[in-house]
Chain A
Amino acid sequence: MKVFIYPTNSLILSDLVERFGHEPLAIMQEIGKKVRTPGLDSPPINITPEDPKFGLKYAAVEVPSGVRGRMSLFDSLIADAEAAIVVRDPVISFGCMGCARTNELVNFLVRAKKIPMLEVDYPESEEEAKEFVYKISGFLKSLGSRAGEEEA
């Protein structure tokens, strides 16, 4: 199953999703596509004429271009997501690097999609990490069994 992760560049979430047999949907894949596509001058800074259209699906033209640009990258991730694991208030989402409005919009869209979703907090101690990993493994295993039931 394709599992959307937030923060979208998280090493821990990406690793855990892959470890438990699912496919993580992470921003690195989209950046990789931009980098490998021939014809872009300095990817991923440049965008193609198609990209603003993907951004406009989610945000109006008067919305800051940064939000639309980011949404053009998130578009296929959100569209393909069959489940989601979201970390609440990650440190990385604070400040200009985070783009709070995009993060809010992404979280809203994932919730609005009504897909199976797990919300967790980043652990700060070993005990919290055990609970974090236990919850994620349980969630991912339940997705596996659900997919199996559907196939059966």
Chain B
Amino acid sequence: MDTITKMLVINSTTVLPSDVVIKLYESDADVSIKETCFGVMVTGERRIVNEVLNKIRRMDPYGIFIKERGLTPGEQFRCRATRRGGARPGFHNLEMEDKLLPHIGSALRALDKGEIPEKKKKTKKLDVDKLKEIIIQETEV
């Protein structure tokens, strides 16, 4: 049996992690659930987890984001309770991406409406030679 853990990161104005947990209990699927501050973690057989989470995503398709997680919740190798605190691996990237989720959610909504975004001109990074010129100019003054 292929057991996996998936994490749902919730960035919604209508759905709370507790709502998702209640829906998961209602589904009566054979999965273990852990409610967290950022969302929910679900462990179970791959097919069952994918089926259940596809239904859960419909609760707010623009506010629920899902990815697989290597370790099960409370895994002793990585659980902060047994490692005496500290960020777990992957936390920093999750924290960084969490800030972008509202933008991604509205972008997905715009995509479904058929909006085509305007191509924005990227501002180029400052050339090293140009920076050297500026430094020389500034030091001469």
Interface residues of A (CB under 8 A from B): 7, 9-12, 14-16, 18-19, 24, 26-32, 34-36, 42-45, 90-92, 97, 121-123, 125-134, 137
Query: A34 contacts B68, CB within 8 Å?
Result: no
Interface residues of B (CB under 8 A from A): 3-5, 9, 65-72, 75, 77, 90, 92-94, 96-98, 100-101, 103-104, 106-108, 110-111, 115-120, 122
* Given contact pairs A10-B93, A11-B94, A14-B68, A134 touches B101 in the complex (Cβ within 8 A): no
Contact of B65 among A11, A32, A125 (CB under 8 A): A11
Task: List chain B residues, Cβ under 8 A from A14.
Answer: 66-68
* Given contact pairs A32-B5, A125-B103, A130 touches B117 in the complex (Cβ within 8 A): yes
Query: A11 contacts B97, CB within 8 Å?
Result: yes
CB distance from A73 to the nearest CB of B (A): 10
Query: B117 contacts A31, CB within 8 Å?
Result: no
Query: B65 contacts A15, CB within 8 Å?
Result: yes
Q: What are 12 A-B contacts with C-beta separation under 8 Å?
A: A9-B67, A10-B93, A11-B94, A14-B68, A15-B67, A31-B71, A36-B3, A126-B103, A127-B120, A128-B103, A132-B107, A133-B108
- Alpha-carbon distance between A102 and B19 when the two chains are bound, in angstroms: 41
Query: A131 contacts B119, CB within 8 Å?
Result: yes
Task: List chain A residues, Cβ under 8 A from B110.
Answer: 130, 133
Query: B77 contacts A28, CB within 8 Å?
Result: no
- Across the A-B interface, give the 3 residue pairs with the lowest CB-CB distance, nearest first: A31-B70, A129-B103, A133-B107
Query: A92 contacts B92, CB within 8 Å?
Result: yes
- Alpha-carbon distance between A35 and B70 when the two chains are bound, in angstroms: 7
Query: B67 contacts A34, CB within 8 Å?
Result: no
Query: A12 contacts B97, CB within 8 Å?
Result: yes
CB distance from B85 to the nearest CB of A (A): 17
CB distance from A31 to the nearest CB of B (A): 3
- Alpha-carbon distance between A31 and B93 when the two chains are bound, in angstroms: 16
Task: List chain A residues, Cβ under 8 A from B118.
Answer: 127
Query: B107 contacts A30, CB within 8 Å?
Result: no
- Alpha-carbon distance between A143 and B110 when the two chains are bound, in angstroms: 22
CB distance from A99 to the nearest CB of B (A): 13
Residue of A nearest to B93 (CB): A92
